[in-house]
Structure 1
């Protein structure tokens, strides 16, 4: 088994099922791999597993993306996550909902369009830009940057990625400087204030902003794209949802289970844990865990009426549970309702094109027509 056999356009579940057949925990190329929902959830919640090796090094690519709390373990992870949490409170999410609904409606005026480029991407970009306090004129680069970051998980750092990263850092450096003299009611301003109080460093401030940008965009654009493709690919489910728009939260959850945007993650043992040795990596196949037949009956069937218990692992689990999960869910609900209401006759209008990434699974292009 090797994930090098896969490309972003292929259905990965053929490989996942080959791994599952070998057992819940498999040794592969010096690392461990699990497809088990129960074991994946256990490892994600176990404080004996972390994001870094015991010498403090991080297994990802260094020197490009600023360090963020995603790659950190407690206590630094806890400290930085707490500073970002107020922006994602239930009260704040309710405040964003009206804005999201207006943006979604405004994007659905075309007769034939690309669902990713013209709807799924600009919607979360508008929301995360509002949240961070990024002017509309500066948001055009976000979609391309997010896509490059996603691809880099598989391909490593490319010259294009380096250039895009430099441009985003320049943007945030300018906005940080502006907020130091003219603070506003946004995340950049609140983090700049925290930096002034020495609650985080300048590097941690930058890393948190880049993480919020990428996570706030990537999860939602792929949630919307994957969900729309799933609905149109299952006409009975699409008809059921159109007749019962209150099922939008269920569409979101089943999409996240059936086609999670993040397919793979990993944890490193900080000490010997059963057969897993200190500093050994466990690759957690979220896409497989979310279709574990021991947890979900008929796991490969897309069913918006499915009882989602236990919860899928699309947003991870434990202390690294996605900070923006509530926001992503709300954006997905609004997007699917808007599509069903405004485009009840929505249909594919050409071949889809997948992103060239196995770790982050989503569509790069999805031509559709409303009639």
Structure 2
């Protein structure tokens, strides 16, 4: 543990030193958790289409380049963290910890990626989403009714998180009663998704991954003994048939739960903040929430990407933006920067409900790793925002907005409003 602590501290010291010297890549990586990084993404754009940091890490905020990297088979998925690979579960035990992203199909390349994705994909088809619409509408209505009569509420904790949490729990066949536990996991995972940098963060990572693995291992055992028609039961059957490993099963359960509510919660929270930052757009939306809800979701995704960046690795020597890249070279695709590329979006730093191309954003990535739950997030966001402003047209922000303590995840953690 001492050796690991020294490695972490040395790495952090080098990063801080490079950032202080003005290196734009180091400045992005050293961004304080919870702070918007858009000014630093613009520094990357100003430095060139593809910028190399002192450690050999490349970074791009170019929409065209991000799209190329995400869609090309020359670039593969890469684990989100390194230190996790050597960690043991809290309380002992053999083997390494299961990570929601590193050990699910989210970080696996073809051909295994496609085989594993097909197991889950039927739950997110257009037909499946149409079947979910009535249920989502009912959940939204019930959660809005809970807010009635309350003068000031935390819109995130009391609505934006509760709606998608209930929906994904229904799909996975999980108890909604554990909602508070799932929310805590989502917040904690967002804080460490880009890797542990201090011994304290390593300890918190171990504790979180141990808790989630234990919970989902027990859940999968129960589904094996008493299967149903839910998504977890489907994955358990695939595991029993040899189509998915036990580790992959647990990791995919974790990824679907966290991704299933964190993204939608951030869409709702970011949309509300975005509308109040732009009074003209706010009034435009209030005049036609049914007609503009889908556009508001897309424009919010563009303006404030729930996941600010992703990482890909060069699979074989290649050339990109005039640079010869060696195999193994990591590239950070600044999705939030690409979404504000002036080459693609006019006046990109403003929310605009009349924008002709908001759907050209890369917030759900692209290519084979395009977010499998994108259609569900869009459905939930559209229904929730339309109903929220229809039911409470006089909604107002009533205090300081606090953001998720993360460098990767962008969205309010606390949003006080008056209904």
- TM-score w.r.t. length of structure 1: 0.94
The superposition leaves residues 72-99 of structure 1 with CA deviations (integer Å, 9 ceiling, x where unpaired) of 1111111111111011111211222222
Give, in angstroms, the shift of residue 155 of structure 1.
Answer: 5.4
Partner of 2:288: 244
Partner of 1:313: 362
Structure 2: how far apart are the matches of 1:189 and 1:310?
A: 34
Partner of 1:211: 255
Give, in angstroms, the shift of residue 59 of structure 1.
Answer: 4.9
Give, in angstroms, the shift of residue 165 of structure 1.
Answer: 2.7
Change (3 A) 1:331 1:25: same
Mean CA deviation greater in 187-196 or 167-176: 167-176
Structure 1: how far apart are the matches of 2:39 and 2:78?
A: 30
Partner of 2:376: 327
1:245-284 mapped onto 2 (5 Å cutoff)? 245=289, 246-274=291-319, 275-284=324-333
Contact 2:292 2:353 (C-alpha < 8 Å) held by counterparts:
yes
Structure 2: how far apart are the matches of 1:226 and 1:182?
A: 40
Partner of 2:193: 153
Contact 2:172 2:231 (C-alpha < 8 Å) held by counterparts:
yes
Name the SS of the counterpart of 1:107 in structure 2.
helix
1:81-230 mapped onto 2 (5 Å cutoff)? 81-108=117-144, 109-110=146-147, 111=150, 112-154=152-194, 156=196, 157-230=201-274
The superposition leaves residues 331-371 of structure 1 with CA deviations (integer Å, 9 ceiling, x where unpaired) of 1001101111111001111001111111111111010001x
Name the SS of the counterpart of 2:413 in structure 1.
strand
Mean CA deviation greater in 294-303 or 152-161: 152-161
The superposition leaves residues 181-237 of structure 1 with CA deviations (integer Å, 9 ceiling, x where unpaired) of 221110011111111211112111111111111211221111111111111221211
Partner of 2:91: none
Structure 2: how far apart are the matches of 1:295 and 1:81?
A: 31
Partner of 1:22: 47
Structure 1: how far apart are the matches of 2:251 and 2:394?
A: 43
Where has structure 1 moved over 6 Å in runs of 4 or more?
Answer: none
Mean CA deviation greater in 99-108 or 260-269: 99-108
Structure 1: how far apart are the matches of 2:158 and 2:203?
A: 27
Structure 1: how far apart are the matches of 2:214 and 2:359?
A: 43
The superposition leaves residues 211-264 of structure 1 with CA deviations (integer Å, 9 ceiling, x where unpaired) of 111211221111111111111221211111111121111000000000010001
CA RMSD between the two structures: 1.8
Name the SS of the counterpart of 2:405 in structure 1.
coil
Contact 2:297 2:378 (C-alpha < 8 Å) held by counterparts:
yes
Which residue, 22, 29, 32 being the options, matches 1:7? 32
Give, in angstroms, the shift of residue 8 of structure 1.
Answer: 3.6
Give, in angstroms, the shift of residue 159 of structure 1.
Answer: 3.0
Give, in angstroms, the shift of residue 5 of structure 1.
Answer: 4.6
Give, in angstroms, the shift of residue 64 of structure 1.
Answer: 3.1
Structure 1: how far apart are the matches of 2:122 and 2:195?
A: 34
Structure 2: how far apart are the matches of 1:61 and 1:334?
A: 38
- TM-score w.r.t. length of structure 2: 0.84
Structure 1 gap segments, 5+ residues each:
none
Structure 2 gap segments, 5+ residues each:
1-23, 86-95
Matched, 1:64 2:97: yes
Matched, 1:336 2:385: yes
Contact 1:191 1:205 (C-alpha < 8 Å) held by counterparts:
yes
Name the SS of the counterpart of 1:294 in structure 2.
coil
Structure 1: how far apart are the matches of 2:133 and 2:275?
A: 23
Structure 1: how far apart are the matches of 2:204 and 2:358?
A: 42
Name the SS of the counterpart of 1:162 in structure 2.
helix
Change (3 A) 1:8 1:233: farther
Partner of 2:397: 348
